[in-house]
Amino acid sequence: MNKDDFYLSENYIHYLSIEKGLTNNTIDSYLRDIVKFFTFLKDQFKLDINAIDEINKEYLLKYFKEINIEGLSKRTQARYIASLKSYFKFLIRENIIKKDPTDIIDSPKKDKKLPDYLSVAEIEKLLQVVDIKKTLGYRDRTMLEITYGAGLRVSELLSLNTEDVNIELGFIRCYGKGNKERIIPIGEIALDFLEYYLENIRPLILKKLKSKVLFLNSRGKPMSRQGFFKILLNYGNKAGIKKHLSPHTLRHSFATHLLENGADLRSVQEMLGHSDISTTEIYTHLSMKQIKKVYDKTHPRA
């Protein structure tokens, strides 16, 4: 069995790259893990990808028992679990399956990895390379300003409709995970870009078409995840940013910069749409790192 024997579309690879923020090496590992899993099912149970709805607890437990027998490290086993969970979550989202068989598998506890984020100076460099004299350039700058200015997930950004924007009160409404609504204030700079975009730029892109979607591609259709990802990478390269860059990087930067400048954790949690504050707490590590850096640099006894 190989990658062509089951559902591994470009959409899934983009899902891993853009929404999960995985590196190419990790994505390759995930794909190999999925091939290994379905090869096991085919060899042991004569079960192929066409019977994916039949995968249940029994199959999963026998598979994980098998990889334990192989003497794999706990880290590798954890990756196997993560790769399968990610794959089935994607299939649920695409309405290919109705029930996630990996729900019964607990992921092993791991140290939380500090997310990549850009400094304030790097954010400025990224924004300044955009040519706002061009119609699409102004659209791009507005998208970047809103993503960073409101800490949006890429799915939240691209699902915004014009009715979700309140210029007068200075906020946007978005729908996060579980279709949970939240209201997020946006700063004066982002608000100015958004107002001009709505009044002058979006009509030029839309032409004679009709759409409620806020951000459109060059053909007047809703912007895709892949489209925005390419736009971001292009500007990242122009700005000379060497860090891993994805829409989520801007979200991480939003949270980090708020905390570094004195925002309280609960407020940041609300703006990010985290259901559990422990998810937000990872950013305090980044803030404490910055505080320690300032202390070491400025305190006479450091």
DSSP-assigned letters across all residues of 172-216 = EEEE-GGG-EEEEE--HHHHHHHHHIIIIIHHHHHTT----BSSB
Check if 251 is active-site.
Answer: yes
- Residue 238 within a domain: yes
Which of 79, 104, 129 is the endpoint of a domain? 104
> What's the full length of the chain, in residues?
302
Three-state secondary structure readout of 143-184: HHHHHHHHCCCHHHHHCCEHHHEECCCCEEEEECHHHCEEEE
- Specify whether 51 is located in the same domain as 93: yes
What's residue 162's pLDDT?
95
- Specify whether 78 is located in the same domain as 170: no
The answer to whether 6 and 49 are in contact (CB under 8 A) is yes
CATH number at residue 31: 1.10.150.130
The CA-based diameter of the chain, rounded to the nearest angstrom, is: 70
- Residue 280 within a domain: yes
- Specify whether 152 is located in the same domain as 263: yes
- Specify whether 176 is located in the same domain as 279: yes
Give the active site residue among 139, 141, 225, 251.
251
Give the active site residue among 15, 117, 197, 283.
283
- Specify whether 207 is located in the same domain as 249: yes
The answer to whether 281 and 265 are in contact (CB under 8 A) is yes
The range of the structural domain enclosing residue 277 comes to 120-296
- The DSSP-derived string for 58-88 is HHHHHHHHHHHHTT--HHHHHHHHHHHHHHH
- Specify whether 58 is located in the same domain as 170: no
What's residue 221's pLDDT?
95
Q: Which residues pair with 262 in a beta bridge?
A: none
Check if 177 is active-site.
Answer: yes
The answer to whether 157 and 261 are in contact (CB under 8 A) is no
Q: How far is CA 155 from CA 88, 91, 162, 221, 280, in A?
A: 19, 17, 15, 16, 19
Check if 299 is active-site.
Answer: no
Phi, psi at 250, each rounded to 5°: -70, -40
Mean pLDDT of each 10-residue bin along the chain, 302 residues long: 52 82 85 87 79 81 79 78 88 83 71 74 96 97 94 91 93 82 89 96 94 95 92 96 89 85 79 73 62 58 48
Integer Cα distance of 169 and 94 in angstroms: 36
Give the active site residue among 110, 134, 177, 266.
177
- Residue 88 within a domain: yes
Nearest to 32 by CA among 69, 66, 76, 64: 76
What's residue 22's pLDDT?
81
Nearest to 102 by CA among 61, 50, 67: 61
Integer Cα distance of 16 and 90 in angstroms: 9
Integer Cα distance of 250 and 248 in angstroms: 5
Which of 104, 136, 164 is the endpoint of a domain? 104
- Specify whether 286 is located in the same domain as 207: yes
Which of 104, 130, 161 is the endpoint of a domain? 104
CATH number at residue 173: 1.10.443.10
What's residue 293's pLDDT?
62
- Specify whether 167 is located in the same domain as 41: no
- Residue 112 within a domain: no
What's residue 103's pLDDT?
83
Q: Amino acid letter at 292?
A: K
- Specify whether 25 is located in the same domain as 71: yes
What's residue 1's pLDDT?
41
- Residue 110 within a domain: no
Q: Is the pTM of this model over 0.85?
A: no
Beta strand 165-166 pairing with 181-185: unpaired
What's residue 104's pLDDT?
73
- Specify whether 160 is located in the same domain as 219: yes
Give the active site residue among 139, 248, 252, 257.
248
What's residue 302's pLDDT?
46
- Specify whether 231 is located in the same domain as 283: yes
- Residue 75 within a domain: yes
- Specify whether 238 is located in the same domain as 131: yes
- Residue 114 within a domain: no
Give the active site residue among 153, 225, 252, 257.
153
- Residue 302 within a domain: no
Count how many domains the chain has: 2
